[in-house]
């Protein structure tokens, strides 16, 4: 099921499928967020912003508006 990374729950894995627009694409790509990469939501701040994810073997903190720009396909289990 396709959804935005910002909609994912803690502990869930997904595969990055696309980006909302090109403005953020280069920035996210430099951080290892590329289509086909598996991403896991590690933590969500108490007020929902930022979120902490694991991608490409390291941890990354994203603002919620950045996470909304990333489309993912949630993995089962």
pLDDT in tens, 21-45: 877 788 888 888 889 999 999 999 9
User: Chain-wide mean pLDDT for the chain?
Assistant: 91
Strands 70-74 and 51-55: unpaired
Q: What number is the average pLDDT over the span 2-9?
A: 94
pLDDT at residue 64 greater than cutoff 70 = yes
Cα–Cα dist 26/62, whole Å = 14
What's the pLDDT band for 61 if we cut at 50, 70, 90?
Answer: very high
Give me the residue spans of the domains in the chain: 2-74
Residue 33's alpha-carbon distances to 46, 47, in angstroms, are 24, 24
Assign domain 2-74 to its CATH architecture.
Answer: Roll (2.30)
- Structure-token pair, residue 61: 């903190």
């Amino acid at each position: 099921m396709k959804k935005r990374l910002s909609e994912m729950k803690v502990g869930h894995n997904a595969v990055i499928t696309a980006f909302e627009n090109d403005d953020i694409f280069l920035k996210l790509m430099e951080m290892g967020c590329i289509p086909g990469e598996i991403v896991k939501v590690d933590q969500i701040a108490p007020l929902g912003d930022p979120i902490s994810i694991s991608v490409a073997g390291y941890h990354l903190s994203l603002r919620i508006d950045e996470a909304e720009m990333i489309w993912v396909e949630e993995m089962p289990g």
